[in-house]
Amino acid sequence: MPGPFELASRMKAAAPAPAEDLSRVERIASREAMAELLGWFARRRQWIDEQHLALCRIPAPTFQEGPRAEAMAALLASLGWMARIDRAGNVVAQRPESKPGPVVALTAHLDTVLAPRRPEDVRLQDSGILLGPGVSDNGAGLAALAALARAFAELPAALPSAQLLLAANVCEEGEGNLSGMRYLCQQSTLAGRLHACIVLDGPDVSHVTAHALACRRFEITMTGPGGHSWSDRGMANPVHALARAVAWFCEERAASPPDPASSWNFGVIEGGATVNAIPSSARVKVDLRSQSAAALDELAAALADAFERSAKAENEQARAGRVTLRMRETGSRPGGALLADSPLLAAVRSVDAFLGIRAELDCASTDANVPLSMGLPAVSIGAGGSGGGAHTPNEWYSPEGRDLGLRRIALLAALALESLPRP
């Protein structure tokens, strides 16, 4: 599997888009129905903004996406799509005239890292900027699905939407472990029909994720007998052992950083009940990522080694009691990559050349990890506009430039549908 820098250099060598690919885009865009559709997004800006606001006001933290999924399914059904919620909780929708055979999937994840406590926590300013948890990641993607669903329904001659699948999936964020996309691609009744996946995640159109960043997550627990901070002084302490292990791992990795680029983050540390009691347990959650599957496995092995050594050291120096270690893998996101000669990448290049978008390839962890790991053509792209503060209470989204992202998605979908195998 090529690394991201190799992939980027091969992609750069292939640019600009081949003339035949660019001419395909020009031909598609010049069709009367498609030209009308490409102008539709700017004319319907207010409606798209309204759907964006309404969806983001429905809390959808990971594992609790149900109410937002129901709202999304109802919206798609009102636009004339056959929408349903599958066994994983994903919303899947097809046109009434859909046919058997391969499909191109447009997907966007429903869940957010943070959720509004009240609808008013997500608000639209007079300037048109949306503020609140999840408005950019992934309110932008969900609003794009809604906009495309209405545009395709109102202008059916623009592209063969009978072979198009829209999916608003669950469990992309946090500890969801991409279970919504895993179900769609591996277990659902549509899994065997997927020909390509175009993932809409966030607003940024300047990056195309064609290399899936592999990720492994662990929950590590230290336990001990606990006791009084004075009368049981010297008792084996789970917090001390856990803190030592975290420090050792970070120091050792910083001194000898993995190659290629990798990361580690101890995102949650818990333990103890009060300041004057020796804790009986301590727990940490860690996220490991790497551009290399081998480097990721080495990081996981080094993590286990650091905690085992720390538990041993704590037990050797303790006057009483022992700590025990439990390490559990809580998630694993597979890696994968598109090759530079992939028709889907060629389609992205040609559409971007036609629209004047200068995008770079990047390596990231998104819903595209699942199809890419299976050898299924997939990219993750932004839905247009701009945003910031993702995964914070101060997240924001500006719809300026949204129509450029939507035109890009429509043209890319048209190219992908045109490339479907013919019966």
* Structural domain ending residue among the three candidates 333, 357, 385: 333
Unique residue bearing structure tokens 């020796």: 278
User: What is the spatial distance between Cα 114 and Cα 10, in angstroms, rounded to a whole number?
Assistant: 38
> Is there a contact between 215 and 152 (Cβ–Cβ < 8 Å)?
no
N- to C-terminal Cα separation, the chain: 31
Q: Is the pLDDT of residue 14 over 50?
A: no
Q: Are 364 and 311 within one domain?
A: no
Q: Are 66 and 160 within one domain?
A: yes
DSSP tag of 79: T
Tell me how crowded residue 153 is: count the other CB atoms within 10 A of its CB. Answer: 16
Per-residue confidence band for 423, with pLDDT thresholds at 50, 70 and 90:
low
* Structural domain ending residue among the three candidates 333, 362, 385: 333
Q: Is the pLDDT of residue 310 over 70?
A: yes
The helix (run of H) or strand (run of E) holding residue 68 is helix 66-78
The SS3 of residue 148 is helix
Q: Are 345 and 201 within one domain?
A: yes
Q: What is the pLDDT of residues 17-29, one digit of tens each?
A: 667 778 899 999 9
User: What is the spatial distance between Cα 168 and Cα 16, in angstroms, rounded to a whole number?
Assistant: 33
Tokens of 205: 């159109």
pTM of the model: 0.89
Q: How far is CA 205 from CA 172, 348, 394, in A?
A: 20, 11, 21
Q: Which of 151, 21, 142 has its CA nearest to residue 91?
A: 142
Q: Indicate the number of domains in the chain.
A: 2
Q: What is the pLDDT of residues 117-149, one digit of tens each?
A: 999 999 999 899 999 999 999 999 999 999 999
User: What is the spatial distance between Cα 336 and Cα 9, in angstroms, rounded to a whole number?
Assistant: 17
User: What is the spatial distance between Cα 304 and Cα 294, in angstroms, rounded to a whole number?
Assistant: 16
Q: What is the pLDDT of residues 158-200, one digit of tens each?
A: 998 999 999 999 999 989 999 999 999 999 999 999 999 999 9
CATH at residue 326: 3.30.70.360
User: What is the spatial distance between Cα 363 and Cα 394, in angstroms, rounded to a whole number?
Assistant: 25
* Structural domain ending residue among the three candidates 298, 333, 368: 333
Q: Are 159 and 122 within one domain?
A: yes
CATH at residue 18: 3.40.630.10
Segments forming the whole domain that contains residue 325: 214-333
